[in-house]
Amino acid sequence: MFGARCLLRALRSCTSAPCPRHKPSARLSVRDALGARSTNGERVKVQGWIRSVRSQKEVLFLHINDGSSLESLQVVADSSFDSRELAFGSSVEVQGQLVKSPSKKQNVELKAEKIEIVGNCDAKAFPLKYKERHPLEYLRQYPHLRCRTNALGSILRIRSEATAAIHSFFKDSGFVHIHTPIITSNDCEGAGELFQVEPSSKIKVPEENFFNVPAFLTVSGQLHLEVMSGAFTQVFTFGPTFRAENSQSRRHLAEFYMVEAEISFVESLQDLMQVMEGLFKTATMMVLSNCTEDVELCHKFIAPGQKDRLEHMLKNNFLIISYTEAVEILKQASQNFTFTPEWGVDLHTEHEKYLVKHCGNIPVFVINYPLALKPFYMRDNEDGCCCDLLVPGVGELFGGSLREERYHFLEQRLARYLDLRRFGSVPHGGFGMGFERYLQCILGIDNIKDVSLFQDLLIRVL
C-alpha cells in the first residue's frame, strides 16, 4: 500500500513537469542573418529564392536570397536533401543552425536541418539564367521577374532607403508630413499638360463632371502645402505628380515623385538654401551608409567613377552664383551650345550642366532670376528671391523661392483670374525636388541614352 502511494505521487510529479520542447526557430531575413554577431548555433528559419545550387558527393550548397540584401546566404545541407526541385528560381523555407563559416567569402552560413520547397521552378524554362548578366533590353520583356536581378533589385533597395532618408530628415527637422490630393481641380503653376480624370463608364451625362468641376491628376502639391503653412510652420509632401506632355525624354516622365516643402516665417533665401543642402547631403549619406553594396554595384557596372564624384559633392559647401553671373560664364564659354545663352532667357539643361562643370563639379545655387522667368508667387525683391540647385550630370534638381505674401502685389498680378481675400499672410518660402532626378544624381545613370532603359532603371513601371 505504501509502495503504491509513492508510485502514484511519482506519476503525478512526472505529469506536472513541463515536457522538453525544441525552441521554435527565429525567422530572420537574409540581411539580418548575414549581419548576425553571435553564431552560437541558434536555430533560425530563412525564406527566399534559390540563387544557386551546387551538389557534391556528401554535401549540398545553396545560396538563398530574399531581396533584403545584394549578398545571398549560403546554406550547407546533407546530400540527402538533394532534389530536382531544389533549382535556381525555386522558393524555399530553410530551418537550421546559424554557424560561423569556414570560408573567407562569408562570415556565417546556415547548417540546414529542414528544407521545404514552397514553390518549384523549372530552371530550363525560367527566362533568367544563373551567372548571366542580362541586358536591360532583354529584361524589359519580363517586368514581373526583372526585380529579381541584381541591378534592378539594388536600385529598388536604394530607392526605398532614399525615401526613408528623406522622411527621416524632415521628421528630425520638425516638419509635418501632409498627404496632398492626387486628384485635384487646380493646375498649380499652369506650366504643364494635365491628365483629366473621368469615370470609365461609357454612359455620361453631357456637360456634367463627376466632381461637378473638371478634375485632373496633380502636377504639384504646392498650393495645398501653402494652405497648410498657415497653420503649421514647416510642412512637406512626398508623392506622385503627373505631366501629360508628349515628350519621350528623361526630364519629362508622365509620372514621377516630387518632394515639396513650405516653411513659414522665412525671410532669407539663405535659410531656404540651407534646408535644401541639408536634405541632399543627409539623405545621400544615409543611402551610402545603409546601401553600401547596392551603391557599389551601380557605381561599378552602371556609372564607373560616380562614387568619387558623389563624395566630392558631399565634402564641399555648395556654391552660390547669380543668374547674371551664370549668363556671363556661359557667354564666355568655349563650348558651342544648341541654345545661345542670353540674359532674360531661361537656362537650358546644357547650360546647367556646363555651369556645374565650370564650378568644379560642386552643386551650385543660381539665384536672382528675372521675375519674368519665374511663377507669379515668387517674391518680387532685389536680394535673391529664388534659386535653382544645379548638380553634376543632371542639371536642375531643386527649385525654390521666397513666396509673395504681400496682398497688393498678388492682387495686381492675379486680378484677372482670382478674387482674393486676405487671411493674415506671413513671409514664407518653399522648394520642390524631383525624386527621380535625385536618384539619377546619386547613381550617376545619366549616361544611358535610351530613355526607355533609363525609365526601367528608375522603376517607373513594374
We report the CATH number of the domain holding residue 439 as 3.30.930.10
pLDDT tier, 135 (very low <50, low <70, confident <90, very high otherwise): confident
Domain count across the chain = 2
Indicate if 156 and 54 belong to the same structural domain: no
Indicate if 94 and 189 belong to the same structural domain: no
More reliable by pLDDT, 101 or 375 = 101
Secondary structure of 75-89 in the HEC alphabet? EEEEHHHCCCCCCCC
Indicate if 167 and 35 belong to the same structural domain: no
CA distance linking residue 441 with residue 428, whole number of Å: 28
pTM of the full predicted structure? 0.87
Indicate if 218 and 265 belong to the same structural domain: yes
Indicate if 199 and 258 belong to the same structural domain: yes
What's the average model confidence in pLDDT over 150-159? 93
Confidence at residue 11, expressed as pLDDT on a 0 to 100 scale: 36
Would you say 403 and 379 are in contact if contact means Cβ atoms under 8 Å apart? yes
Indicate if 103 and 201 belong to the same structural domain: no
Indicate if 381 and 439 belong to the same structural domain: yes
Orientation of helix 435-443 relative to helix 150-172, angle to 10° = 120
Confidence at residue 93, expressed as pLDDT on a 0 to 100 scale: 96
3-class DSSP assignment, residue 280: helix
Range of the domain at 381: 148-457
Indicate if 172 and 45 belong to the same structural domain: no
Indicate if 97 and 226 belong to the same structural domain: no
Of the residues 99, 119, 139, the one at which a domain ends: 119
CATH code of 49's domain:
2.40.50.140
Would residue 333 count as lying in a domain?
Answer: yes
Most confident region among 29-43, 201-215, 401-415, 440-454 by mean pLDDT: 29-43
Indicate if 114 and 173 belong to the same structural domain: no
pLDDT tier, 249 (very low <50, low <70, confident <90, very high otherwise): low
Indicate if 198 and 104 belong to the same structural domain: no
pLDDT tens digit sequence for 113-126: 999 999 999 988 99
Of the residues 119, 135, 156, the one at which a domain ends: 119
**Four-CA torsion 283, 285, 288, 290, nearest 10 degrees:** -70
Question: How many residues make up the chain in this entry?
Answer: 462
